[in-house]
């Protein structure tokens, strides 16, 4: 599988154009810092990454990995454009919860 570069849909966080089942498809819960212009990578092994187009203020880099049994989303949040860590938020869900 090859990675797909796409854009997030503003409402639900699904990636536009990632219809290959081997690629990551979406974020469970898009972080508010992402915004409608966020870029996304749908990567092999059901890994998904979203990040801001530019770092001019607060931002987040989000990863979502889905397996047969679990789904994990990690959000690395920063408050300044120097990308210093503000928080690391991790969400885990069991199969059937998503």
pLDDT of residue 59: 84
pTM attached to this predicted model: 0.72
pLDDT > 60? residue 3: no
**67 or 74, higher pLDDT:** 74
In the chain, the DSSP E strands lie at 4-7, 39-43, 47-51, 59-66, 70-78, 85-94
Largest CA distance in the chain: 38
pLDDT of residue 95: 63
């Amino acid at each position: 599988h090859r990675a797909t570069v796409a854009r997030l849909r503003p409402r639900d966080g699904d990636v536009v154009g990632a219809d290959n089942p081997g690629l990551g498809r979406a974020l469970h819960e898009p972080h508010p810092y992402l915004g409608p212009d966020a870029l996304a990578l749908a990567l092999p092994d059901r890994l998904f990454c979203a990040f801001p187009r530019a770092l001019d203020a607060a931002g987040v880099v989000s990863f979502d990995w889905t397996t047969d049994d679990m789904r994990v989303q990690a959000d690395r949040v920063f408050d300044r454009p120097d990308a210093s860590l503000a928080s690391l938020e991790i969400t885990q869900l069991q199969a059937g919860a998503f």
